[in-house]
Amino acid sequence: MTTPHPPRPRFVLSVGVIGHRPDRLPEGMQPRIAREIAETLAAIRAEALSAYGRYTDCFAESAPRLALVTALAEGTDRMAAKSAIVLGFDLETPLPFVAEEYEKDFESHDSKASFRGLLSRACTVLELGGNRAHEGRSYEAAGLVVLDMADILVAAWDGGAARGRGGTVELVAEAGRRGMPVVRVDVSGSAPPRLHWRGLGDRHTAPLRIEDHPAATLESALAAAIEAQIRPPQNPVERDGLDRYLAERRRWVTASVEYPLLMLLLGVRWPRLGDILSPQPEKLANALSEFGSAQSAIGAAFGWADSVAARFAQVFRSAMITNFLVSAVAVLVGVMSLAYPLSAIELVLVFFLVLNAFIGHSRRWHHRWIESREVAERLRAAAPMHTLATRAPGPFGAATTWPAWYVRAVSREAGLRGGRLDDEALASALAALRKLVSGQAAYHETTARRFQRLHDRLAMAGQILFVAALILAAGTFAGKAFHLFTATAEMSRWIILASASFPALASASYGIRLIGDFEGAAKRSGRMRGQLSALASALQKGSSDFESLRDRAHEASDVMLGDVATWRLAAESRELAMPG
């Protein structure tokens, strides 16, 4: 379905649950533990809906969704799942093995029936396809998926040491290391549930042990923790950028063609249909089809961001080129006005320069390009991670920029993927990740070559114009000094015009190179090609097991987003301005 604006993310908040199985839950305390878990989920639900009400305008009209991410093990997981269903949460269930194998963990008929009943109520089930030969590793994988998919964690923990790999103790420690908000339910009953979260203090790094994190009662701290997870940036500039992006409209034609025409003039590349007909979001979303994301929240948001970014990149570059060339023409007309009545034309050209720069600034062409490009690249990196049931880590606090907030909200909306990550599915994910990384490496190779060629030819044009100006000046001087010729009045006017036009056009060439930063872009793309090519080679030789693939997906994300950060830092300093 086509939409007139970029999609607003649906409000989603995911709560992960981990905790002990019955053998570590004191039998007499289990009713209290179940009650405290239910009360905690009810409090999270109330605070989440309250926060949603304050920022409704940033989200889609769809009803807000709360999700509980749990592996449905006996004990804590099922206590939470039963309460969550009553409270209207959706169940998202990652299983360490295929369901039939995982069911063997539960000995009694009642336990198996309870597992099947809850599993049938889950809106999403992901079977990780672990094996008993590496049982601890399989439990750990499912637990890490719970952490990756959650915005806040509820952990029923006795405070004791770990008894095996992938258990509650290890996962609580990992949550603390990430800086997640963790609600600890004390299974001994010696204290009410408390929120442990780095955001409650002023520490920049997360303490190693969850007990060392700042802690507070739910009544005093839960609202702030949830608010921080879902609140859009409150900085007026960032909020204006978000509102402007969400109001972007579908465009069918891009009228600004100066940039592709300059590349044609310099022999860099031939014009393409996409230079005039704006690429449509639905078509661009297909770039993520290998990950099954083309029709998902991630794909739809990516298609729009990529379309907006491509359009404003061309609009901004075309406006920049026009300003420098018109400035050069204005100089020529100013010189010619000494002999001809061209002052009105000069006035019109100067007025156009001022107007073009004013419109570019007021409509924020430059920022709209940079911000939408950041959104697109963040979502491109999110697609393979979503396929592998992971997300970019944190930050578990208020987002400082609207692109970071928007991408995090879209990733939440996408939620846990369903299906089975068996050997065949993992091999398919590996092939898709290879294709993405190799495709990005090829893109950067082409971009580096094209921008270097554009830079070199602009530099050559400027040098030729300056040399021509030098030759003309030297010839005129020699002609006058040695009486080699006598210039007519008309010839003198043309000599003056050429003497002014060559340096003016050469300066325009330099300005286009400076603001366009084509050489810098070529070098950055060259470095990216090297990094991505190395990663592509590693993927060719690498394993397709779940843990390795998740690691490679995060590595690809780090490389691509590192490039975005470097590019944004360089691009932000090159605003559209009037030459002078």
Question: Residue 1 pLDDT > 60, yes or no?
Answer: no
The predicted pLDDT at position 493 comes to 63
Give the pLDDT confidence score for residue 25 in this predicted structure: 84
> H or E stretch including 169?
helix 168-178
Q: What's residue 474's pLDDT?
A: 75
Which of these ranges, 18-27, 102-111, 112-121, 569-578, has the smallest mean pLDDT?
Answer: 569-578
Cα dihedral 201, 205, 210, 213, rounded to 10, equals: -10
What is the rounded distance in angstroms from the CA atom of residue 521 to the CA atom of residue 450? 10
Check residue 290 and give its pLDDT: 84
Mean pLDDT of 517-524: 92
**What is the per-residue pLDDT across 218-262, written as a single tens digit (0 to 9) for each?**
999 999 999 999 999 999 999 999 999 999 999 999 889 999 999
pLDDT in tens, 83-111: 999 999 999 999 999 999 999 999 999 99
Cβ contacts of 292 within 8 Å, gap of 6 or more: 387, 417
pLDDT digits (tens, 9 = 90+) for 454-498: 999 999 988 888 887 787 777 766 666 666 655 565 666 666 666
pLDDT of 28 reads 85
Enumerate residues 6+ apart whose C-beta is below 8 A from 360.
316, 319, 366, 576
CB distance 147 to 180 below 8 Å: yes
Q: Has residue 156 got a pLDDT over 90?
A: yes
Q: How far is CA 200 from CA 205, 223, 393, in A?
A: 12, 11, 19
Which residue in the block uniquely carries the two structure tokens 């070098």?
523
More confident of the two residues 152 and 568: 152
For 7, the token pair is: 């999609």
H/E segment holding residue 295: none
* DSSP structure class, residue 104: G
Mean pLDDT of the chain: 89
